[in-house]
Structure 1
Amino acid sequence: MKKFDHLDLDGHLLKLLSTVIEQGSVTRAASTLGVTQSAVSHQLDRLRAILGDALFVKSGRGIVPTARAEALAQQAQGLLTQMQGFVHAGGFVPARLRQCFTIAANDMQRDLLLPGLLNRLRAQAPDVTLRVLASDIPSADMLRDEECQLVISPRPPDATDIKHKRLFSDNYRVFYDPQVRKAPRSLKAYEAAEHVSVVYQPKRALDIDDLLLKRGVQRHFAVTLSSFAGIAAFVRGTDRLTTLPGLLREGLLHGLADAPAPFETPAMPMYAIWHLRHHNDPVHTWLREQLFATPNAKT
């Protein structure tokens, strides 16, 4: 039997391992990598021989990684980052870049910023792709563990190895269906209405909802959702209100009317957040520059 050692490894095998774990399927991994299913199976067999581990086992109709495969995948991400830095050390040319960037964002941030970002990236680097994760409550560990390269959030983690820069600042507005009702003109009218809002899992309310609760504003919530995506459906055609960032009018709340809240509200900043390891990397510097240059990042 042929002997394998570490010199038999290459970046393609490391990427293959990470992709199969992310996709949970050889078929989906093949589609993501742009190769045939048989090519993925062949390369997995080669990787199993090198590492001396099954790497994946059947579970129902899919496959799951072994404990060793999961541990190796985390190391693989770090090695791939180092290899990328090695390639671009002599000068970065976007047109030659073939990479998938993973960005964590909620549905508001995704729709507001990422289509414009992808257009800017592809104009300079046609082979670049994006993978978007639902961030909900982002953590510093998402960046440390290479689950993603960028996080978009109003709350930068308080950590010395995490960097951030403000993208824009928004104001909270009261949204309503103008075919059914008018905007509330007083706090009393606001409190008398039924409300719709978002509570992220596990049970973290929006900053504005926490603030109003601390101020003693009494509201009855007809429904709370885990994301912004379903808000409009619960407001449209009713006299319910929802108090959310005004920029949602550009996307998920398009068609609803909005008005200033009948009380003082704080501004809501939005930040791009990344790990220190990528701070001076030319590829990631370029990625962030394209994000900062998208039209909605200058609001």
Structure 2
Amino acid sequence: MMHPVQLLKIVIMSIGRIDLNLLKVFDAVYEDRNLVLAGKRLNLTQSAVSHALGRLRGAVGDELFIRTRKGMVPTGRAMAMAPSLRDALRRIEATLGVEPFSPDTTKRQFVIAANDHLTAVIVAPFLRELQTLAPGVDLIIKPSTRLDLAEQIDLGRIDLAVGIFAEVPSRLNSRTLMSQGEAVLMRKGHPVSRGKLTLRDLAKYPLVTLSAGGQEEGAVSGFILDRGLARQSEMFDRDALEEALLETKETPRFRVAVPHALAIPALLSETDMLSIVPATLAMALAKSSNLLHRQLPYQAPASTIRAVWHRRDEHDLAHTWLREMVGKAARAAEELLA
């Protein structure tokens, strides 16, 4: 067995052979999969990035990236190196404070994953704050319904995912943003709009539901498990509805399932269908379209909306600011329900 002192010397010698700036190049190419984009991120020419990669390849004895028509594809060795290396870089930057963050002067782009409902309820108010507090910050919104959501967070392509998650793996961190119940949407003039909504109404009239994937995508009990991250696939509590209807000895008719909340007004406006949706969505759609919202005629547990991010970003000052701002917008949305 090698003596600890000898092992330490070997490690120091190995690090000494590598210019740590090369690791920044690796990080940028791994995230962008493109030499030009990586160069823009690092303020280097494409030639300089290519030369740096060549030096790093020689140091580690692996090709690291293969040039293809779709971009720079990482090798197996690069995929194995990436998580620990990128995490170490973030920790070094946070420890040394080499990347100070000031919202009013920063030029940074954040990528947030959210469905269209939470984009309208949480992200839009956050964006309004950006106009004055951080005019140089840009946002990219990606669908949180994508099947590779966890992989995109692992790769650093998504900074923050907002949604309802039943399970969050230990490599990811999370925080509660808000809680909300459900409500029923209907068109104005609907046959049940003048009285109190009943369980029998929910059995009598067909339903429009929000669904980001069913059993064919691997959904179990309304959630899809991907790399340890279980995200909600159905935007209402099906079990609570079916259990409540047991006393009526009737079953609901799920006529239409749609992946996008903004399709609901068009589907309800000319029909007698009803839709069970998150409470904040019901309020937003009733305010902006020709719809009414009513309380559920049964008890359903509240859903907890969380923000999820990779733990490597836990101490990044810009990322911390992003989480706080999104949290502030969510609290404001929750207060509207009170």
TM-score by length of 1: 0.75
Structure 2 residue 54 is matched with structure 1 residue 49: yes
Q: What RMSD over aligned residues (CA atoms) do the two structures have, in Å? A: 3.8
Q: Find 1:237's aligned residue among 248, 254, 270.
A: 270
Q: Which runs of 5+ in 1 are unaligned?
A: none
Structure 2 residue 164 is matched with structure 1 residue 154: yes
Aligned residue-pair number? 286
For 2:100 and 2:64, locate their aligned partners in 1 and report how far apart those are by CA, in whole Å. 39
Q: Secondary structure in 1 aligned to 2:54?
A: helix
What is the Cα deviation at residue 86 of structure 1?
A: 4.2
What is the Cα deviation at residue 82 of structure 1?
A: 3.1
Q: Secondary structure in 1 aligned to 2:113?
A: strand
Letter in 1 for 2:103: P
Structure 2 residue 71 is matched with structure 1 residue 63: yes
Structure 2 residue 258 is matched with structure 1 residue 221: no
Structure 2 residue 218 is matched with structure 1 residue 208: no
For 1:118 and 1:207, locate their aligned partners in 2 and report how far apart those are by CA, in whole Å. 27
Structure 2 residue 199 is matched with structure 1 residue 187: yes
For 2:124 and 2:39, locate their aligned partners in 1 and report how far apart those are by CA, in whole Å. 22
Letter in 2 for 1:189: D
Q: Which runs of 5+ in 2 are unaligned?
A: 1-16, 58-62, 223-233
Identity among equivalent positions (%) equals: 19
For 2:272 and 2:39, locate their aligned partners in 1 and report how far apart those are by CA, in whole Å. 46
- Between structure 1 and structure 2, the one with the greater Rg is 2
Q: Secondary structure in 2 aligned to 1:196?
A: strand
What is the Cα deviation at residue 245 of structure 1?
A: 0.9
For 1:128 and 1:212, locate their aligned partners in 2 and report how far apart those are by CA, in whole Å. 42
1:164–1:272 contact (8 Å) kept in structure 2: yes
Structure 2 residue 178 is matched with structure 1 residue 168: yes
1:195–1:219 contact (8 Å) kept in structure 2: yes
Q: Find 2:302's aligned residue among 242, 247, 267.
A: 267
Question: In the alignment, what sits opposite 1:196?
Answer: 208
TM-score by length of 2: 0.68
In structure 2, relative to structure 1, the CA distance for the partners of 1:110 and 1:117 (3 Å cut) is same
Structure 2 residue 118 is matched with structure 1 residue 109: yes
Question: In the alignment, what sits opposite 1:257?
Answer: 292
2:26–2:53 contact (8 Å) kept in structure 1: no
For 1:97 and 1:83, locate their aligned partners in 2 and report how far apart those are by CA, in whole Å. 20
In structure 2, relative to structure 1, the CA distance for the partners of 1:79 and 1:159 (3 Å cut) is closer
Question: In the alignment, what sits opposite 1:127?
Answer: 136
2:110–2:159 contact (8 Å) kept in structure 1: yes
- Which moved further from structure 2: 247-256 or 8-17? 8-17
In structure 2, relative to structure 1, the CA distance for the partners of 1:10 and 1:100 (3 Å cut) is farther
1:167-186, Cα deviation, whole Å (9 max, x unpaired): 22222111111145443732
Q: Secondary structure in 1 aligned to 2:211?
A: strand
Letter in 2 for 1:208: D
Letter in 1 for 2:238: D
- Which moved further from structure 2: 211-220 or 232-241? 211-220
2:192–2:201 contact (8 Å) kept in structure 1: no
For 2:267 and 2:310, locate their aligned partners in 1 and report how far apart those are by CA, in whole Å. 38
Question: In the alignment, what sits opposite 1:286?
Answer: 321
For 1:135 and 1:9, locate their aligned partners in 2 and report how far apart those are by CA, in whole Å. 33
For 2:99 and 2:46, locate their aligned partners in 1 and report how far apart those are by CA, in whole Å. 35
Question: In the alignment, what sits opposite 2:333?
Answer: 296
Q: Find 1:99's aligned residue among 101, 108, 125.
A: 108
Q: Secondary structure in 2 aligned to 1:7?
A: coil
